[in-house]
Structure 1
Amino acid sequence: MKATVFNKPVIVVGNLAVGGTGKSPMTEYLVRLLNGRYRVATLSRGYGRQTRGFLEVHADSTAEQCGDEPLQFKRKFPHVAVAVDENRVHGVRRLFQGGHEVILLDDAYQHRALRPGFAILLFDYRSMDQPKWLLPAGNYRDSFGERRRADLVIVTKTPPTATEAAKERIRRSLDTGRQIPVLFSAIHYGPLVPLSPDRHPKEARLSRDHTVLLVTGIANPTSLCDYLQNRVKKMIHLRYPDHHPYTPETLQTITSRFHGIGNPSKFIVTTEKDAQRLLTPALATQLTDLPIYIIPIQAQFSEPDERIFQRMILQYCAITLGTDPV
């Protein structure tokens, strides 16, 4: 099958392993970098949605209609076009026909029907010493050799304790012989914001006095668990599968576990992605009295990696569109 190539910037953010490498924060970083310079749109498959075909996402859409991550993008960047389509070629064509100049494809590294102009491949720092076996023996959905198709490799969730020697070992392990840059990014967690701002204070601060009930339905919550455990008295984790569809029964379990915590200084923490599935009309009445807070997340680079990353992306877009580099 011949892959479709577009003559405008198409940037793919993907990984080889199954979930949990930080694709959404990296896509959001690209939105912040490019929005204002170009007419940017994001396109995802819309994992877990109950619809089919091309669909433009709106702030009042539901996760059932479009998937949790696209809804997260739209609510964080309301002026950026966000769409879903399991047929990425069709979706990209529709967005370019709508006047958009740069398309960001979230989780499309394995979509062979489309050849991106620029492919960003992510690896979780913690996974680099683990066996890189294909499913079902391991958790790789593509062979490790497929990293050679990338234009840029980023090792995500790099801990602050990572040494230059450790980074150099990882660079060597990812070497493809094509001199593809290997950069390192970290996770930055922002201040907690309430899920229901009309019922609870505008922010909550973590302290050693608190007990936190962490509720997640994401692929890899390890970094978040480490972050919270280092900042609160006790953390209790209710872990659900990635993209878990929250139901009234799930909320009953969460409510029961929360009320069973003896420490009066307590609240619930969840992720931005989980918040999209919690904020549904069917759960609204059960959520209002629970002090649920969302912890925002961003990808963060240190110098010189940030400078290299931004230069490569901006040069690619400028060259492809025939404009002056910004």
Structure 2
Amino acid sequence: MNPTFTSMHLLFIVLRPFSWLYGLILKLRHRLYDTGFWKSESGPVTTIVIGNLELGGTGKTPMTDKILHILKGHLKVALLSRGYGRKTKGYRDVVTESPPAEVGDEPLLIKRMHPDVPVAVCEDRLRGLEQLAENHVLDLVVLDDAFQHRPLHSGFNILLTPYDRPFWDNALVPEGRLRDVKERARYAHAIVVTKCPAQLSAQEMESMRESAAWYSTAPVHFARIDYGALRSITHPEEPKDWPQSVVLFSGIADDSLLHDYVASKSDVLEVKKFSDHHQYTPHELRMLMEICANFAGRDPVLVTTAKDAVKIRGLLGDTGDPQVEILELPIEVSFMTEGLEEMIRAYARTNKRNS
């Protein structure tokens, strides 16, 4: 018998009762909202919610970017985020020069990608919507990571789940990585399986649709991650060629696709993984540069994600002139099935308010 399998199996058995208890608490909470004992409100503006059932790593940020691209040419749209990882509380407008520690890395990245779109953070989504509606004339607000925010009732919920660990094959924490019960999928208006391989077959798509159908009647769509051209974090308008050697670092929930892609382009000499939404320090940036310096004769450069780059830029002045070039790798979402984009547009056109 494989000792690793045995120890993992025993660990799951030990953790399962805690997952059951957590599930009972979640179901009670949802029941109180579903019966109206606790109130859910729609707010003053039409909303689209992007969310998941997992702890992270489903690709909410690139999906948010994609949906803003779909909508902003036709509607007055804004983004409201919780601002996970920030050190502040309450409502804050996000500007392109906001410190990431004050607004969160993901909202700041979205603001820099869409400087014409109002972006705000507030842990109380209803209050945030009210403030946005006071400050701007809006047709619709996109909310990221608000699927579990039951005080808000949204007319359109997009549920993301990753290809390599879809929610129907997962379990609640601590046994698995789900933070909410699978039955919540029935409140989704569309399910998107993210981070799919480019050559995903029609047969596998159909198999995944059949699995999702046990929990939801929502249409299931599929999306992949496409990587853009490397660019300098100090001069992002300048594309860069792939160097021969790199040191890769990131603070994202799941770096497996990133690592595989970078390894297909360059020789990855070392990988430094930080926690999701990690706030970097000047000391850590110097440490990363020292790692590169240790590979004498290889001259590696540092490569990271666009989400991490927004936090690194502000540190460059604290570390002196960077001795190692730092490159960021942008990503975008591409839909692999038809219908979702038009579904989003149709909902937005039909339900826009405050215009």
Same fold (TM over 0.5): yes
Structure 1 letter corresponding to 2:202: E
Distance 1:149 1:286, change over 3 A: farther
**Conservation of the 8 A alpha-carbon contact between 2:250 and 2:274:** yes
Matches within 5 A, 1:170-249: 170-176=208-214, 179-197=217-235, 202-206=238-242, 210-249=244-283
Distance 1:220 1:130, change over 3 A: farther
SS of equivalent to 1:197: coil
Stretch moving more, 285-294 or 211-220 = 285-294
Q: What TM-score does the superposition give when structure 2 sets the normalisation length?
A: 0.84
Structure 2 letter corresponding to 1:257: I
**Conservation of the 8 A alpha-carbon contact between 2:139 and 2:353:** no
Deviations 1:187-241 (Å, cap 9, x if unpaired)? 010001101229xx9332226xx11111100101111111111122335211011
Partner Cα separation in structure 2 for residue 237 and residue 275 of structure 1: 16
SS of equivalent to 2:86: coil
Distance 1:258 1:75, change over 3 A: same
Stretch moving more, 271-280 or 10-19 = 271-280
**Conservation of the 8 A alpha-carbon contact between 1:247 and 1:283:** no
Q: Are positions 1:315 and 2:346 aligned together? A: yes
1:176 Cα deviation from its structure 2 partner: 4.4
Aligned to 1:25: 62
Structure 2 letter corresponding to 1:308: G
Aligned to 1:89: 126
Deviations 1:245-282 (Å, cap 9, x if unpaired)? 11122112201111112453521111111112112257
**Conservation of the 8 A alpha-carbon contact between 2:105 and 2:310:** yes
Matches within 5 A, 1:25-104: 25-97=62-134, 98-104=136-142
Over the residues paired in the alignment, what is the CA RMSD in angstroms? 2.1
Which has the larger share of helix?
A: 2
Stretch moving more, 100-109 or 169-178 = 169-178
Partner Cα separation in structure 2 for residue 204 and residue 69 of structure 1: 24
Aligned residue among 36, 41, 54 for 1:4:
41
SS of equivalent to 1:293: strand
Structure 2 letter corresponding to 1:313: I
- Structure 2, unmatched stretches of 5+, are 1-37
Q: Are positions 1:145 and 2:183 aligned together? A: yes
**Conservation of the 8 A alpha-carbon contact between 2:167 and 2:178:** no
1:129 Cα deviation from its structure 2 partner: 8.7
Distance 1:30 1:107, change over 3 A: same
Partner Cα separation in structure 1 for residue 239 and residue 300 of structure 2: 14
Stretch moving more, 168-177 or 108-117 = 168-177
Structure 2 letter corresponding to 1:267: V
Partner Cα separation in structure 1 for residue 263 and residue 289 of structure 2: 21
SS of equivalent to 1:268: strand
- Structure 1, unmatched stretches of 5+, are none
**Conservation of the 8 A alpha-carbon contact between 2:111 and 2:117:** yes
Q: What TM-score does the superposition give when structure 1 sets the normalisation length?
A: 0.91
Stretch moving more, 106-115 or 156-165 = 156-165
Stretch moving more, 125-134 or 10-19 = 125-134
Structure 2 letter corresponding to 1:231: K
SS of equivalent to 2:319: helix
Aligned to 1:16: 53
1:162 Cα deviation from its structure 2 partner: 2.1
Report the count of equivalent residues. 316
Structure 1 letter corresponding to 2:72: N
Partner Cα separation in structure 2 for residue 263 and residue 127 of structure 1: 40
**Conservation of the 8 A alpha-carbon contact between 2:248 and 2:268:** no
Partner Cα separation in structure 2 for residue 177 and residue 143 of structure 1: 10
Partner Cα separation in structure 2 for residue 118 and residue 204 of structure 1: 39
SS of equivalent to 1:5: coil
Aligned residue among 250, 257, 273 for 2:291:
257
Partner Cα separation in structure 2 for residue 130 and residue 256 of structure 1: 43
**Conservation of the 8 A alpha-carbon contact between 1:9 and 1:316:** no
Deviations 1:143-167 (Å, cap 9, x if unpaired)? 1111111000000010123222222
